[in-house]
Chains A and B, each alone.
Chain A
């Protein structure tokens, strides 16, 4: 592995955890090559940029190009190199409650929309998994179909639907359900609609894949042993679908916490989400170090709970 130093540390972690990619005897180079491609990709386009962002977060904002101070000072006269780590960005995150509010509000919005997508997605996934195979293919295609149009375009479509003289208001007025247009756009309501609409397929697909494998005789066995359908659902279906539920929730929750486009286009000025804060910090305030610190903390906030969940699930399996 020495010739591929970019991911040598990953290989070391695998070695520590006793995960090997070698089969029978000798080194399987073909297998290594296949695995190294995604690792290489992640290393170059995720891990190295992450280190750069981390580096910027430890510097001070400056009016210069680039707009932050250097970490390493090189004084040629006396050959001193000084490393200056500025932690003020991180302490400021704690001092100004605005950031804390933004984090909490993001997590709240992500959590609520995850629950809503789960509640809507589960019956849909269940129905698709239980329908006959030809119909199932059609329904699955319907779930995936929105991906064929640009995400941005679909969010703009929601703007057209929800705005003051938009389709929804017009229809409700013409039906006499309301007298004057309701303000929907630029509210949290619109943000939730946008998020749930956009992320629903990410919930349905993993749920479908576990529910499709669910053995129907297990449900019959539960009924035979005295379970009503609702009890069967919670005692058998849900525990067996748990891996899909966890996967779906992570697939929705994680990107929604950092979501920028939906709150920016559908939300109002009071919709506080960390993605928007980050963008404003970066482009309006031109405070790159602060924006970097916000990004680093967001990553930590997301990664820790995921690791906890993964460990718990992993332990249960063992």
Chain B
């Protein structure tokens, strides 16, 4: 690549008028921007990251989602250069990162604790990286002022970190990690320390910034809601492995395992045995549910294998009268009702003893009064609403 080409590319990257590129991760020929190639990280006997291979593409906002100890932060720290992988390769923009120290990587990180320098004010914190590069003082001033305006912190430039609120610190940390215009921005639990309302505001702000600057974001979080709203794709991690990678919609609607189904959102799992297995149709006899369940996709499994049907609470409809022509219909008794304003949550006991969670939007005022405790009800759902999970 010639220098001229390189510079036009850089300019393009930061031009807010450039239309977002098509979703590169759907294109099998696209060149990945970040490559994890068989990455393993061991601390003494403990395997924090276990043979992960993963491609992340330019302009993605990729979320690594997992519980504590799932290895997501270790993966991020290896990308930043604070940890060295025990085996495997990491490529950023085609360059092998082995042996490249943190200060020479085209990467900036926003730390979970924000890690603002307590002895420097906001302006000096944000300008820290630029001044280390030896950039001229007036350019530093201009760049810092620009980025502080973007995160709406320009009026507090002279404050010290301890004089700021949590939300303000978070903005400064974000500004500091963006000001060097890294190719890749790493965010470790970026919204973890904020209250719910600030979180929601900042989530959308992050997405705006990401679209405006065209930087590739990798976000580590344990909060599935955060991951769902922010990301282009999610990688769900468990015990140092990536168990599923996909767009938020895919992860939610088509989880590939009970772990993913339960980790993201709430789900009803009904155990049963396969009785009929066609390429586009499965029937499962479930003693728990007290009936036969039908799902419109095939699975590859042995006959009579025990599987689970995953069914989201909001996909179940509830009524007093037996519905006409429902492929999946179960009878039950309402055990508990929780009125939550916009929706109501029912716990319905099936004849097999299993309790099922059903949520209903309160689309009419008297919805809450239509059902009461110990009512006999029918639960029914579409044939394409559930997923069969063999693991």
Decide: A217 near B117, CB < 8 A? Known: A223-B102, A226-B133, A231-B132: no
Give bound CA distance, A302 to B109, whole Å: 47
Residues of A within 8 A of B81 (CB): 223
User: Is A228 a contact partner of B103 (Cβ separation < 8 A)?
Assistant: yes
Q: Mark B86-125, 1 if CB is under 8 A from A, else 0.
A: 0000000000000001110001110101011111000000
Tell me if B128 counts as interface (CB < 8 A to partner A).
Answer: yes
Residues from chain B with a CB closer than 8 A to the CB of A231 are 132
B103, A218: Cβ atoms closer than 8 Å: no
* Chain A residue with the shortest CB-CB distance to B133: A226
Cβ-closest chain A residue relative to B80: A224
Q: Is the CB of A226 within 8 A of B119?
A: no
Query: Chain A, 217-233, contact with B by CB distance < 8 Å: what is the 0/1 string?
Result: 11011111111100100
B109 in complex: contacting residue of A215, A224, A227, A228, CB < 8 Å: A224
Tell me, yes or no, whether B129 is within 8 Å of chain A by CB. Answer: yes
Are B118's CB and A221's CB within 8 A?
A: no
| Chain A residues near B117 (CB-CB < 8 A) | 218, 221-222, 236
For residue B141, CB closer than 8 A to chain A, the reply is no
Chain B residues within an 8 Å CB radius of A228 = 101, 103
Please tell me if the beta carbons of B132 and A226 are within 8 angstroms of each other in the complex: yes
Give A218's nearest chain B residue, CB to CB.
B115
A240 contacts partner chain B, Cβ-Cβ < 8 Å: yes
Contact A224 B119 (CB under 8 A): no
Are the C-beta atoms of A220 and B119 separated by less than 8 Å? no
A181 within 8 A of B: no
| Residues in B neighbouring A215, C-beta threshold 8 A | 113, 115
Query: Which among B107, B115, B118 is the interface contact of A220 at CB below 8 angstroms?
Result: B115
Question: In the complex the two chains form, what is the Cα distance from A276 to B360 in whole Å?
Answer: 91
The listed residue (B101, B115, B119, B180) touching A221 by CB distance below 8 A is B115
Interface residues of chain A, those whose CB is within 8 Å of chain B, are 215, 217-218, 220-228, 231, 235-236, 239-240
Given contacts A221-B117, A225-B132, list 16 more A-B pairs with CB under 8 A.
A217-B113, A220-B109, A221-B109, A222-B128, A223-B82, A224-B108, A224-B109, A225-B103, A225-B128, A226-B129, A226-B133, A227-B103, A228-B103, A235-B132, A240-B118, A240-B119
Chain B positions within 8 Å of A, measured between CB atoms, are 80-82, 101-103, 107-109, 111, 113, 115-119, 128-129, 132-133, 176-177, 180
